[in-house]
Structure 1
Amino acid sequence: MILAEVIPAPLVGRHVLVLPAGTDVRPLAAAWFPGAVWERQPLDPGERPAAARPTGARFRGIVVEAPRPTTGLLRLDASAALDGPVRLGEPVARALGLGARELDAWSLVVGAGDDGSGSEPARTDGAPGDPASRHELAEGWTVAAARRVRGAVLPADGSRVVAPDPAAAVDLTLWSPLPLAPQDVVPLVRPALAGARIGPADAPTPEPADPTAQPFSVAAAFEYDGVVTIRAARAREVPLVLSTVDQRQYGTWAYHVAWQPPDSTELLQEQPSQLHLIARSRVTPSVARVAATLWRVAGGTVVDSGGFVVTPDELTDRARDLR
């Protein structure tokens, strides 16, 4: 498939984030770029101006009023912004292999001014002045955002459609103000992790000034599905997304619930084996149940491996075993 023959011409040659129609892109952006702000709000269809009409005296020539832009410009940081949305109808979505649904397309642009003038598409072809190195973070965010909401990314080279699997984001971290003792955690998580046992901590031992905050790990091994590990320690830094949350709703005590499959190399594969997918489907509800249990006891905020906040309702959905 040649993307240039499928997508609207203004999107050709641009790095494009494709989201389900109507998705609020700013909260997604704020997870990685807390200062994300609208420099130009997108217009709703009802607010869009009519076609430009010529004005001016009959014998003084014709002057055409410049139409107002209908797309918005969301500034991510000093060097990157999103321009959009451009609505993609169901025929385009089907042609892209993204199902029969409407989509919103957002172009990643660089060097955009307050009105978007002079912006250039983010390129990855190594051309002189290539801004890809400066915008690697922004491009990485587009993949994470697409995974978060079942969207896709259309690279600037038009080579393919990247549709990250949302189910691949298994790991969860609870950021809580309350440290728990390992002997208290084990009985809490054993209903979800049969055979869970206290293991060695990967974090350094805390200083005597903080004797209650003891790092630890708890692990449960499964014959065919790998290992689920809970690693608890006080962190010096927290994810950027927590800057968008009330400070009373999280802490620096991190409970990281992670899955290590039998073959860890499959975590990086776009199309892992069927055995990996089966194991993942069995483990994902357990990881969510552990995070939900710790959240109910210690409080705080849960963040997924993509850097986005996971709500209690979403935890409940993840904890359902749909096999």
Structure 2
Amino acid sequence: MALPPLDPSSDDATRRHLLVLPADVGPDELETLAVSRFPRAAWEVEPTAASARTGGGARGPRVPVSPAGILRLSRHSTLHGPFTIDRTTATALGLPMSAGIAYVVHATVERGERPWPTGGDRDGLRRAFPDGLPVRDEERTVAWLVAAARRLGGAVRAAPPRAGVAGALLVPDPAAAVDLTVWTDIWLEPEAALAVIRQAVPRAYLNLPSGRWNGPPQGTGERPVPGTEAMDPARRRALHAAADDHDISNLTSPPPMRAYGALADLDLDGMLAVEVSGETRLPPVIAAVPWAAQGAVAYRVRWEPADLEDMESERPSLSHRVARGRATPLVIAVARAIHKAVHGEITDAMDFVVDPLDL
């Protein structure tokens, strides 16, 4: 059954946000990503659930055409589609020639202040919304559109900011989503985690506070400091003794560790960082897992390039992309090793679940 075509002259095509994707991306894949960010997302109209209408005319074949589906993202936003895109439509709307299908976003327009003229613009939002960045529901929807396009190899054609101006095309680079997070209910002590990480990156080391504390300087509590001249000497000594007891207690019986990290120096390619912490605020897709009902342990595997400004650029330099290409396999290897040790779920930089077999 054929999909309905996108009319390039319609208001939907010219005045709304468009999510354009390769032709082989199915509605089920898009629904999975929607539920990952919007827990109540669901099809109000399945793309193939309603009765088909007949396409063609008197001179052409009569082909059954599937009605467009409606995917509810939030109370104010829905996604209509998929629609097919041919080369003529892609040219008229300034879309990539690789685009095969499109979804039209029906959402309220909610804009805030003009974007700051300097700083990073990794996703191109400053370029797409020069008169005011999306806020509230539209901000969440646009952020998800860009994330979905990055995950699925597609693009977002932002609605024109004003009449007579073409909408900006945002083509997020899938390769820029380097970081991975392993979510689990298993806590590894620092030395155990380091052993796992070193299976993938032998040069890794723990990033923990170092050095010993030898107590306060000699004479502390015996002599008054500015502002305490009127304090009774016995009271002053008692306060410092209580402080010493507290410090000794913490040093001999420290509270349970709640977070730690590990690093690996990649020389010219920057640093690989693993951040381990207990979390109670979880991405929706992880919060829905039964074992994470009370929280989860996050093992965040991040790449930090030598030039952080380049990482936030919409079009990073060649040297950044080369370094990223060398660092990405290491991030994947570390995430695989951690997942093998603690199991759980893996999410990408957009908080979408990743099958370990796909890494």
Shorter-chain TM-score tier: 0.7 to 0.9
Q: Secondary structure at the match of 1:11?
A: helix
Q: Secondary structure at the match of 2:265?
A: strand
Residue of structure 2 in register with 1:88 after alignment:
85
TM-score, normalisation: structure 1: 0.75
Distance (Å, rounded) in 2 between the aligned partners of 1:103 and 1:16? 13
Distance (Å, rounded) in 2 between the aligned partners of 1:286 and 1:249? 31
Report % sequence identity. Answer: 32
Query: Which amino acid in structure 2 is aligned with residue 37 of structure 1?
Result: A
Kept in 1: contact 2:53–2:66 (CA 8 A): no
Residue of structure 2 in register with 1:98 after alignment:
96
Distance 1:81 1:209, change over 3 A: farther
Kept in 2: contact 1:250–1:300 (CA 8 A): no
| Structure 1 residue 8, shift from structure 2 partner | 5.1
Query: Which amino acid in structure 2 is aligned with residue 266 of structure 1?
Result: D
Are positions 1:34 and 2:39 aligned together? yes
Structure possessing the higher radius of gyration over alpha carbons: 2
Residue of structure 2 in register with 1:185 after alignment:
193
| Structure 1 residue 132, shift from structure 2 partner | 5.4
Q: Deviations over 1:216-238 (max 9, x none)?
A: 11100121100011110101211
| Structure 1 residue 173, shift from structure 2 partner | 0.7
Distance (Å, rounded) in 1 between the aligned partners of 2:312 and 2:297? 28
Are positions 1:264 and 2:308 aligned together? yes
Q: 1:110 aligns with which of 107, 112, 130?
A: 107
| Structure 1 residue 72, shift from structure 2 partner | 1.3
Distance (Å, rounded) in 2 between the aligned partners of 1:249 and 1:196? 32
| Structure 1 residue 84, shift from structure 2 partner | 1.2
Kept in 1: contact 2:186–2:342 (CA 8 A): yes
| Structure 1 residue 43, shift from structure 2 partner | 3.0
Kept in 1: contact 2:22–2:153 (CA 8 A): yes
Q: Secondary structure at the match of 1:142?
A: helix
Distance (Å, rounded) in 1 between the aligned partners of 2:307 and 2:293? 36
Residue of structure 2 in register with 1:54 after alignment:
none
Q: Deviations over 1:274-304 (max 9, x none)?
A: 1100100000010011011000111110111
Q: 1:281 aligns with which of 281, 301, 325?
A: 325
Distance (Å, rounded) in 2 between the aligned partners of 1:195 and 1:249? 35
Are positions 1:234 and 2:278 aligned together? yes
Tell me the number of residue pairs that the alignment of Structure 1 and Structure 2 aligns: 274
Structure 2: unaligned runs, 5 residues or longer: 1-6, 56-64, 109-127, 161-165, 210-249
| Structure 1 residue 143, shift from structure 2 partner | 0.2
Distance (Å, rounded) in 2 between the aligned partners of 1:289 and 1:172? 10
Q: Secondary structure at the match of 1:135?
A: helix
Distance 1:310 1:210, change over 3 A: farther
| Structure 1 residue 245, shift from structure 2 partner | 4.2
Q: Secondary structure at the match of 1:306?
A: coil
Residue of structure 1 in register with 2:22 after alignment:
20
Distance (Å, rounded) in 2 between the aligned partners of 1:277 and 1:252? 33
Q: Which moved more, 1:180-189 or 1:237-246?
A: 237-246
| Structure 1 residue 247, shift from structure 2 partner | 3.7
Kept in 2: contact 1:72–1:85 (CA 8 A): yes
CA RMSD of superposed structures (Å): 3.2
Q: Deviations over 1:176-228 (max 9, x none)?
A: 10000111122222242232111037xxx9xx8983x5421110012110001
Distance 1:250 1:164, change over 3 A: farther
Distance 1:143 1:293, change over 3 A: same
Structure 1: unaligned runs, 5 residues or longer: 1-5, 52-67, 112-122, 316-323
